[in-house]
Structure 1
Amino acid sequence: MSDRTATPGAGAGVATDRIRRYTRGVGLLIVPFLVVASVLLHILPGRTEELFAWTITPPLSAMFLACAYIGGIWFFVTVIRQRAWHRVRWGFPAVIVFASLLSISTFLHWDRFHFGHISFIVWVTLYVTTPFLVAAAVVVQRGEDRGAPELRDFLLPLWLRVVLAVIGLAALATGVVLFVVPQFAIDGWAWQLTPLTARVCGAILTLPGMVNVWMLVDARWSAFRWVVQAELVSLVFIAAALAIRGSDLLWSRPATPLFVGGIVVSLLAFAGFYLYCDRRRTAAAV
């Protein structure tokens, strides 16, 4: 059976569920910056003082941010390659919140940055413009998705959507608390943080939260399948970062085993969730 989207009446004045050129252009613009930042932060996390916009210590903090970027690469490459807007739609609010929080963090901790460095110039330019560019894409795409399931799709049961939304809200709330009260994270996080890296960690935690809450209004697996892929990629690299930089973890803190265990459980749970939904999608004929 075809994997195309079901868009009855396309071409007759109704929604076509297409990704417009502007939105693809935003993806094409953002991906190269994410690739460079991911290489600098995940492969060379100990050299941020000389190579990055600001010095990030310990290296695990740099790698944690890189993991969010790597998930972002997967997401925006999907935006560039896909045809259907609804397949990537719910990732955009998460990107807007994440980029906005990093923009605010930049100005709150202006003195921490390497003024004049090319990475600093790129960082500031990117985070001043990205929230508006991505928000504009949402406006441009307005009306493209009327909520129709694909010809082959799976509708997530209500109980599962509620569970995932509650988990997402918990992650979102935690992220907001870390951003607003960074000292809360500094005193108890799994590794040493500064006020700036605490806020960055908070911004990262809002990403899955801002995705999951939309499951309360959209039951289509096709609307989350590709965004969940990006989350899984990010979790894989977070797990790798914890293994590589285990020496940065503060095991004397209760939060450390909870955080490490939470990442492992999240990775396994999301992988199981993805496989379950994909098997149901393969068997479905909506």
Structure 2
Amino acid sequence: MATRTPAFTPVTMSASLFMRAAFVFVAAAGVSLFVLSEQTSDFFAWTIKPSITAAFLGGGYLAVATALGLGLRESDWASVRVGIWVVATGLVSILIATLLHLDKFHLHSPLWTARVWAWSWLFLYVSLLPGLLPGLLAAVWTQWRQPAATPVAGAALPAGLRISQWLLGGVMAAIGATLFLTPANAEQLWPWSLTPLTARMVGSFYLAIGVSLCAAARENEYARIRVANFAYLVFAVLQFVTALRYPVVDWGTRPGLLLAAVLLALFAIGSIGIRGGLKPRDIGK
């Protein structure tokens, strides 16, 4: 009897359009925050202090833009769904944080650049996302439940990498949830000062990456996590650049050590995943 192979699952048109629209906004936010970290009062939706926080969030947005940009080059849903979990989780939590702290945004700033950013942010997260997210999340859930082709011999992830993904994913999700739910206690987990709004934003990125790491471990195949691996690597590298640019982190404290451990682990997981995905498959054996 012939073995039944699950069909190829294409990326839906709605998911593709969402990814394109999100890429433009996310990339713009990332560049603005990372490059103009000290000018958020003029060139962002709300003023972010200290500047290292703006650069950190900018690195997060650029990592998400990496996942979206690479995802747009893929046609198989199985190759992009881990990256989509980063986007979907982050967008939902950032939407909630925006609604909780709407008074902090530059909606009535005398500077037109700040007002444009604030209203663009408000339109995307408060007006546009509630209409798009239900359909996107329904598509994510439906396509997530569809079986994908069984990995070819040698394509599965090594046990050590999967365990590391589960562990780091759990740690990042826990830190992210704590920062989001109890931002007043951020100093216990974070090596520099965060406001309630920025604590929730940082927590949103940690939560999104943590969820995606667990999803990557579940996928258990190099090709299906390629998009996410590049995002992990970009996130870790840009945060180390941020730390060098703004040398305010005391790496000897518990929050400093925790941040260093997370970024080093994320760099290692992303690098190993990318290198593993480039290895030639010994399919003929």
Q: Give the shorter-chain TM-score range.
A: 0.7 to 0.9
Per the alignment, in what secondary structure is the counterpart of residue 193 of structure 1? coil
Cα 1:204–1:260, aligned 2, differ >3 Å: closer, same or farther?
same
CA distance in 1, matches of 2:245, 2:107: 30
Q: Conserved in 2, the CA contact under 8 Å of 1:149 and 1:220?
A: no
Hey, which bits of structure 1, 4+ residues long, moved more than 6 A? none
- Is 2:233 aligned against 1:241? no
- Is 2:219 aligned against 1:218? yes
Cα 1:223–1:184, aligned 2, differ >3 Å: closer, same or farther?
same
* Offset, 1:106: 1.3
* Offset, 1:253: 4.2
Cα 1:93–1:264, aligned 2, differ >3 Å: closer, same or farther?
closer
Q: Which residue of 2 aligns with 1:199?
A: 200
Cα 1:157–1:251, aligned 2, differ >3 Å: closer, same or farther?
closer
TM-score, normalised by the number of residues in structure 2: 0.85
CA distance in 2, matches of 1:188, 1:81: 37
Aligned length: 272
Cα 1:251–1:271, aligned 2, differ >3 Å: closer, same or farther?
closer
* Offset, 1:218: 2.4
The one-letter code sitting in structure 1 at the alignment partner of 2:129 is T
5+ residue gaps in structure 1? 1-7
CA distance in 1, matches of 2:187, 2:177: 14
Give the RMSD, CA atoms, in angstroms: 2.6
CA distance in 2, matches of 1:252, 1:140: 45
The one-letter code sitting in structure 2 at the alignment partner of 1:214 is A
5+ residue gaps in structure 2? 109-114
* Offset, 1:20: 2.2
Note the 1:117-156 alignment, pairs <5 A: 117-128=115-126, 129-130=128-129, 133-140=132-139, 142-143=142-143, 145-149=146-150, 154-156=155-157
* Offset, 1:187: 5.0
- Is 2:45 aligned against 1:46? no
Note the 1:1-286 alignment, pairs <5 A: 15-116=7-108, 117-128=115-126, 129-130=128-129, 133-140=132-139, 142-143=142-143, 145-149=146-150, 154-186=155-187, 189-246=190-247, 248-250=248-250, 253-279=253-279, 282-285=280-283
Between the aligned residues of both structures, percent identity stands at 24
TM-score, normalised by the number of residues in structure 1: 0.85
